[in-house]
Amino acid sequence: MEKVTIEINNLSPGQARAIEEYFAVWKFLNEKNMSMWCSFFVDCQNKFIPTIKVNGESPRRFMKDIGLRVGKVKFVSEKGEEEDDMYLLDYEKVEKALAEGPEEGTDS
- pLDDT at site 106: 56
**Model pTM greater than 0.85?**
no
- In this structure, are residues 62 and 94 in contact, taking their beta carbons and an 8 Å threshold? yes
DSSP 101: -
Q: pLDDT for 19-34, tens place per residue?
A: 999 999 999 999 999 9
Q: Are strands 6-9 and 51-54 parallel, antiparallel or unpaired?
A: antiparallel
What is the rounded CA–CA span in Å between residue 29 and residue 60?
A: 26
Q: Average of pLDDT values for 55-66?
A: 95
**pLDDT-derived band of residue 108, with 50, 70 and 90 as boundaries?**
very low
What is the rounded CA–CA span in Å between residue 64 and residue 28?
A: 30
Q: pLDDT for 36-54, tens place per residue?
A: 999 999 999 999 999 999 9
* Residues written for the chain: 108
